A and B are shown apart, each in its own frame.
Chain A
Amino acid sequence: MNNRLKVLRAERDWSQSDLADRLAVSRQSVNAIETGKYDPSLPLAFRIAELFGLPIEDIFTSPTKG
């Protein structure tokens, strides 16, 4: 699933480790999500959306539209 995580992270000047710490996950998890190798669960997607203060659909592109 495509997403804007890398862009949003870069706008805040956060490293993958910074974002991982804020989400309480491993840096490998952030990297896997950013590169589209892993789709987060709905609870984690909500945590990501709440951290950036955006709706989920502004971060993750629906597979049917992407």
Chain B
Amino acid sequence: MRMNPAQKRYVRRVFVSMACYLLTLSVALHYVGGGHVTGPLAYLLALLPGLSVIGVFWAVGRLLIEERDEFQRMLLIRQSLVATAFALSIATVWGFLEAVSLVPHIDAYFIAILWFAGLGIGSLVNWLTLGTTGGCR
């Protein structure tokens, strides 16, 4: 499928965010995880991978604003809602199970991973109900 200008900007933003994520994660793991850096600088370096992932959320938000094709915008909204419902539902249920020690602890950033997986499910829902995936790829 041909990409419109908004979708091209989205792909570029996601690529930059993910490149930043990989770079800052390796730096944080090496310097903070390895104990080479402590104090405020350690906090700053440990924050950077998370901020890079926020860049992907921002890219999705910008695509919602900049997408001029109303049908494509609707597909993306549906996809994002499915992803949000999927991630929050699992996080909520897991949290209660974890509170009574029935499941092991999972780091909070897994919610973001669930949300990205939810985008894939949302895309599948769009395809099954409207015959096209659209939205985020």
Partner of A32, one of B1, B2, B4, B131: B131
Subset of 30 A-B contacts with CB under 8 Å: A25-B70, A25-B71, A26-B4, A26-B69, A26-B71, A26-B72, A27-B1, A28-B1, A28-B71, A28-B72, A28-B132, A28-B134, A29-B69, A29-B70, A29-B71, A29-B72, A31-B131, A32-B71, A32-B130, A32-B131, A33-B71, A35-B131, A37-B131, A38-B71, A38-B74, A38-B130, A40-B70, A40-B71, A41-B70, A44-B70
Q: How many residues on B have C-beta within 8 angstroms of the other chain's C-beta atoms?
A: 13
Other than A26-B72, A28-B132, A44-B70, give 6 A-B pairs with Cβ distance below 8 A.
A25-B70, A26-B69, A26-B71, A32-B71, A37-B131, A38-B130
With an 8 A cutoff between CB atoms, is A24 at the interface? yes
Count of chain A to chain B residue pairs whose CB atoms are closer than 8 Å in the complex: 37
Instruction: Give the CA-CA distance A37 to B4 in the complex, in Å.
Output: 22
Q: Which of A20-66 contact B (CB under 8 A)?
A: 24-29, 31-33, 35, 37-38, 40-41, 44
A30–B122 alpha-carbon span in the complex (Å): 21
Considering the complex, give the chain A residue whose CB is closest to the CB of B2: A26
Name the CB-closest residue of B to A35: B131
B30 at the binding interface (Cβ < 8 Å) = no
A38 to B12 alpha-carbon distance, docked (Å) = 29
Residues of A within 8 A of B134 (CB): 28
